[in-house]
Amino acid sequence: QKEVEQNSGPLSVPEGAIASLNCTYSDRGSQSFFWYRQYSGKSPELIMSIYSNGDKEDGRFTAQLNTASQYVSLLIRDSQPSDSATYLCAVNRGNQFYFGTGTSLTVIP
Amino acid sequence: NAGVMQNPRHLVRRRGQEARLRCSPMKGHSHVYWYRQLPEEGLKFMVYLQKENIIDESGMPKERFSAEFPKEGPSILRIQQVVRGDSAAYFCASSPGQDPRYFGPGTRLTVL
């Protein structure tokens, strides 16, 4: 079983819509959770981190953590074409950071 | 993430040669992580270092691979006797604390 699972997509949403990205993790000992955005051919860029159950909002982004169900999600409100990228979920346990394979998002103008 | 420097950006080696990848963390960051990324795959953890210390190298193959982060200078990921399967993008990330916060632009290694 993979440490972190993401639906690879592709996920397509129209401009202005809400994009919902989901991630599940296997180990209940995971301590903190991260979302990265990676444009094609570029390096990952940290966009959100969340450390406790519930929601965390930052601009158009909201991270949601549910430790009971072992999932973390990222909502992107008012999606823009510039949001088109691969979104990587990562979880931390001790010194280890485990990344999912990413979900490809396309925002259609 | 523009502050994390990696060089070279592209590296071509023939089988059996050595590859040396360098990572200069952001100023003030003492934590460095190395990851490998294959096409259509996620980032695979290789090694976590602090200045002069290897904290966790559990993701790094036991043979041919080594990493260091000296007191002065960049962190180095060294791959000896490269094979075609080593072809990948290698990213380093730096942080002031314990999470890979800022990634460098990566080194794309091609083994012929």
Q: pLDDT per residue over B4-32, tens digit each?
A: 999 999 999 999 999 999 999 998 888 99
Longest dimension (CA), chain A: 41
Q: Secondary structure of chain A: what % helix, strand, coil (to 5)?
A: 5, 60, 40
What mean pLDDT comes out for the span B37-63?
Answer: 89
CB contact under 8 Å between B99 and A49, yes or no, is yes
What mean pLDDT comes out for the span B68-84?
Answer: 95
Which comes out higher in pLDDT, residue B62 or B21?
B21
CB contact under 8 Å between B102 and A88, yes or no, is no
Rounded Cα gap, residues A74 and A58, in angstroms: 11
Rounded Cα gap, residues B54 and B20, in angstroms: 17
CB of B91 within 8 Å of a chain A CB? The answer is yes
Considering only CB atoms, A101 lies closest to which of B42, B99, B101, namely B42
CB contact under 8 Å between A49 and B91, yes or no, is no
